[in-house]
Structure 1
């Protein structure tokens, strides 16, 4: 059995809609009916284009899906469904694991379940969600998420970056803050691995920006060193080979410069875990804090 869960955009709207319709049509009749049953390919594509989603592929067939929509204080998981023929084969659990990786930097996950479906509520409770509000016919459940991690060496920093690479999508802006040698470029190397882009990611200091094209049909990686930029508007003069709307843009030293580049961004701050400045850099762990900012 081959099961793969991956982040998808508007290009997967047909498959995602098929899963949603099949999964929700198989559920008990509800009054009022589930909103998911009125989704169209256009509405699903718009959601995926704006915020992304996940698609589960089992032995080459789309069998599970969900949509993501950021809220003021949590990422909302929507249209979570598994087709009946794939239920009991670990697809739902794999989607939950995938969404935990896909939402790094958010303070919490939220999901709405119908109160007439106690087994669905129990499923989410079994994955660390707790009931936060009841608005008949809905039950809202939430799960807090980690926003800080310790990286003891470069390998762990790259591994964290790889996880971040699976959590971002086209149009995202990642702002990296940290002192010289903190590990910003190392984190970006891992992010490039997670995105599946071409080329070795190195510090862009002398060229200001580099574009790493995707090798897997996903967004390109634009790696920017803003240390010598007078403002983010100067990006327009760099003659980049890709649109920032179609890429993931990582900006080192970007705090205070890139806030107008996108409506939302992922702010990452890297600090020393130890107060002793004399500690050997190779043995000096770092603390990585991530925060999603919207609006």
Structure 2
């Protein structure tokens, strides 16, 4: 596991981190996003989409659960599990997104990923926090199967 801490001065810095990720991630990449309400998860995904070349307006799919974006170098699958229990999440069989079983393999970004019962074998965990003294912080961990 690789881990790094990124200090984010403001929402713009969070978006820039997303842009950098969007330019560098490859098909099959999965981002598991955690953090309190307002910590910057959706802002990060907005930057991710921009870095991928997606021009659509990116909003959190809190009620639709999944937003799919195409027309860029790779598809983006943006999921928000906030309103669901882990059992409800499990019923959705979301692994089909990161395995490319029913959709084209792309980049998967999952907000409130702590509700997942089954994790992909490889993923990037991004924990976003806000500290009144330190400001916004992104703890980025890369988890790879051996």
Instruction: Give the TM interval when normalised to the shorter protein.
Output: 0.7 to 0.9
| Contact 1:198 1:213 (C-alpha < 8 Å) held by counterparts | no
| Cα separation, partners in 2 of 1:180 and 1:153, compared to 1, 3 Å | same
Gaps of 5+ in 1: 1-72, 74-105, 108-146, 237-241, 276-283
The partner residue of 2:77 within 222, 228, 232 is: 222
Provide the rounded CA distance (Å) in 1 between the counterparts of 2:92 and 2:138: 28
Provide the rounded CA distance (Å) in 2 between the counterparts of 1:243 and 1:163: 28
User: Larger Cα Rg: Structure 1 or Structure 2?
Assistant: 1
Query: 4+ residue runs of structure 1 moved beyond 3 angstroms?
Result: 242-245
Larger helix proportion, structure 1 or 2?
1
**TM-score normalised by structure 1 residue count:** 0.43
The partner residue of 2:47 within 190, 202, 216 is: 190
- Higher relative contact order (CA closer than 8 Å, sequence separation 6+): 2
Deviations 1:88-130 (A, max 9, x none): xxxxxxxxxxxxxxxxxx45xxxxxxxxxxxxxxxxxxxxxxx
| Cα separation, partners in 2 of 1:288 and 1:268, compared to 1, 3 Å | same
| Contact 2:75 2:104 (C-alpha < 8 Å) held by counterparts | no
Does the alignment pair 1:292 with 2:136?
A: no
The partner residue of 1:255 within 89, 114, 134 is: 114
SS at match of 1:207: coil
Deviation at 1:259, TM superposition (A): 3.9
Deviation at 1:198, TM superposition (A): 3.8
The partner residue of 2:62 within 186, 205, 227 is: 205
RMSD of aligned C-alpha atoms? 2.2
**TM-score normalised by structure 2 residue count:** 0.82
